[in-house]
Amino acid sequence: MRPSHRRRHGAVVTLAAALAALGTGQTLGAAAATAAPHFPAATSAAPHSPAPASTVATAQDQAARAIAGSLSDSAWRDRVRTAALASDQVPVTTLAHGALKTALASADHRIAVAKGLDGQVGPLLRLRLGDDSMRPALTAGRTPWVAAASSDDDTSTVTAYDSHGRAHTLDARTAPAHPVYVVDIDGSKALAAGLKVLGAELQRRGVASAVPVPTTAQSTRKAAGQAASAAAGFWTTRITAVELSDDEEPWVKGDAEIYTLVTGFGQDGKVRVDPVDMPYLDNDGTVYRPNQILVNWSNYKYNLADAVMMEEDGSTNYRDLAKAIATVLLTIADQGTYIPLVNAVLDAIPNDWWTDDPDYVDSWYTLARSDNGTRNGARGNGWMTVEPYFVQEF
């Protein structure tokens, strides 16, 4: 199982002065000023319904019930066991057949639509063994129970279903001895598709946005070359190392995926948001050295930009997210000086989303093109080592 890494947002009330590291009167390049704690606005965007979290959770639960019932078939049970022991990401919809395949395909479609992906992303559901400690029992032939993944760090119990349709209440913090399959979403696949939707929807609503930034400098050069001027290349900020804090997680919790929204004022003086996918951030407490380009400075008017790191836990509707962000950011006009946009992005997310997804991980104010060294996040939940990097034209 790829360990999940959801950071607690603490209902945002723990974001003290560090989160508002810059006052509203700051001028270009001015030093940070201590400010009062920041809270998301009470009603910052138009209501959105139905709630994607509940839709996704219901679809996953129904899929778990269907898979549990299907395990009464010994041949199918053996097939799933072989796949689960060989891989921590079993594409269960593709593997299934007959009525089960139909049921899972329907759940996949509802999940994709709830996430604003219009059902065109393909199968998202996958199956994995809940914990490595269950492998001996599964190998010995015990019929597993099946549970839907939870995106809630604070859950204390988990409901798993057996092949007779009976529900079993399990401790979320201690993996049971009985083997349990967990049904969740392919977060990498969903996030990659979702960031494309987010960028396109932001553009449609009048907020400039580039396609998600590729991981390597070589692929970034190819993708961003069209945005460069006629000069010999363009300056970027590259991440040479990054680490996020470690948190205890429920064993049943689904995978999470990290992405960053880089914000600032574009060359036209209007606010822009550039999504950056960070698929390598698999584990908390691990230092990664991706050499990933975070900011393409040819897109920005000022020598400063902000970064808001978020986490996709399965229920984010990317069209709703784009609408919420655009609604707030489009009210911010260029005053001829850099204005920090972290708080505006956080305020744009409707309050009920903070109870589940998307999760706020950390933020970095006033990233400058000249930054060279380690920058701690405002929330104290992670750090990045960055350096200026010049992308040269061929």
Cα 371 from Cα 380, distance rounded (Å): 19
Name the nearest CA neighbour of 388 among 365, 357, 360, 367: 367
In whole angstroms, what is the distance from residue 348 CA to residue 207 CA?
14
Between CA 321 and CA 345 the distance in angstroms is 10
User: How are beta strands 257-265 and 271-278 bridged, if at all?
Assistant: antiparallel
Residue 312 in tokens? 């996709």
Q: How far apart are CA 94 and CA 81, in angstroms?
A: 15
Predicted confidence at residue 176, as pLDDT, reads 95
Q: Mean pLDDT across the chain, nearest whole number?
A: 81
Round to whole Å and give the CA distance between 254 and 151: 6
| Residue numbers in the chain where pLDDT is lower than 50 | 1-49, 213-230, 357
Residue 237, both tokens: 């900020």
Nearest to 18 by CA among 371, 366, 388: 366
pLDDT at position 34, please?
Answer: 27
CA distances from 24 to 6, 28, 338, 339 (A): 30, 11, 10, 7
Residues 6+ apart with CB under 8 A from 99: none
Report pLDDT for 175: 93
The predicted pLDDT at position 211 comes to 62
pLDDT (0 to 100) of residue 350: 67
Strand segments, DSSP code E, in the chain are 125-129, 145-148, 157-161, 167-171, 180-185, 233-244, 257-265, 271-278, 292-296, 304-312, 359-368, 373-376, 382-392
Cα-based distances in Å from 36 to 18, 33, 367, 394: 9, 10, 21, 48
Angle between helices 98-114 and 52-70 (to 10 degrees): 170
The single-letter DSSP state of residue 208 is B
Give the dihedral sign, CA 2/88/312/250.
negative
